[in-house]
Amino acid sequence: MRYLMSFLILIAVSLYMLGVGRYEISYNEILSTLFSFGNNINIDDRVPYIILEVRLPRVILAIFVGATLGIAGASFQAIFRNPLASPEILGVASGAGFGAALALLLGLNIYFLTIFAFVFGILTLILTLIIARDMENRIMIILGGIIISALFQSLIALLKYIADPQDTLPAITYWLLGSLSVSDFGQLLFCCTGMLAGGIIIVLYKWKHNLLMLDDNEAKSLGLNITKLRILLIFASTLIVSCIVSICGIIGWVGLIIPHIARIISGSNTATVIPFSLFIGAIFMVIIDTLSRSLSAEELPISILSAIIGALFFIVILYRSKGIMKL
């Protein structure tokens, strides 16, 4: 019942946000455009284009991005038994960002940009695991991620330094700040398919995340192949982050704060935290994207808004928990 209510809230918020923007659209016009009824309503010719070509693809992408970042964050916090873990902790976002920046520097089109970001995101995970060497040592994995993240952040800075300051540098900077503006349906389909695949893997193993929070020896005594499961879930989260960066740029904070909000609502059982993180993340991202495109004449970068609002949320969470965060 709680999941049904969360789903209905997500649908209601999404429909509401379709009408919000610099060009106001009534909900009769939205419903008429989406479901092809209410032909007696005089609809401006611009309305179908604004809804179907501009706002609806952004809302769909926001749902996928928010939902998958939310569950990836919940998964990582269980895998590493750390409430401060997030999908960016292994440096995948930095690696994928470097791939996108490299494609922009080389003047490649949007498809090559997507491929470069995706490939470098996966490559980052491989390098992190090579450095860590021991998949049962969570600290080594995190340290490997920090090292690789710093390396690719430096490489991104190098690309910015050598980029044309009149043309390429602004494009790289704006891309890395994040945007849900969709320019190509094929790119949207490819990236959403990757996010969906990673999300399905995490949801299918949602109940096993509780076992990952046990001591490794205790989990093994229950018959769990902890190394295999950890690699699978890390790969699923990497797939999600790589696809998101390849189409949206780097979006922080969402995977960190959403699981905490889900725990406040559903408790500490990860089998329920993950589904709630899915719905809450989707709602959060739809709202953030609407604010991004409607607060000012120029679209605000998603990462700026997500950081500001995410930080405020996290302050409230810390205050409520009196500085003690529990998984």
List, for residues 150-207, the tens digit of each pLDDT value: 999 999 999 999 999 888 999 898 888 888 887 778 888 888 999 999 999 999 999 8
| Spatial separation of the C-alpha atoms in residues 268 and 266, rounded to whole Å | 7
Q: What is the pLDDT of residue 221?
A: 78
Q: What is the pLDDT of residue 324?
A: 44
Q: What is the pLDDT of residue 323?
A: 47
Asked if 121 and 99 count as a contact pair (C-beta separation under 8 A), the reply is yes
Q: What is the pLDDT of residue 287?
A: 94
* CB count in 10 Å sphere of residue 276: 24
- As a whole number of Å, the end-to-end CA separation of the chain is 24
Reference 270, options 233, 220, 238; nearest CA is 233
Q: Average pLDDT of the chain? A: 86
Q: What is the pLDDT of residue 67?
A: 96
pLDDT tens, residue by residue, 105-163: 998 888 888 889 889 988 998 999 888 877 667 788 888 889 999 999 999 999 999 99
pTM of the model: 0.89
pLDDT tens, residue by residue, 250-271: 888 899 999 999 988 888 888 8
Average pLDDT over residues 25-52: 74
> Which range among 25-39, 156-170, 175-189, 208-222 has the greatest average pLDDT?
156-170
Is it the case that residue 26 has pLDDT exceeding 70? yes
Here the tokens at position 71 are 């569950």
Is it the case that residue 327 has pLDDT exceeding 70? no
Residue scoring higher pLDDT (40 or 245) = 245
* Burial tier of 43 (Cβ tally within 10 Å: 0-12, 13-18, 19+): middle
Q: How far is C-alpha 176 from the chain's CA centre?
A: 14
| Spatial separation of the C-alpha atoms in residues 95 and 120, rounded to whole Å | 5
Is it the case that residue 234 has pLDDT exceeding 70? yes
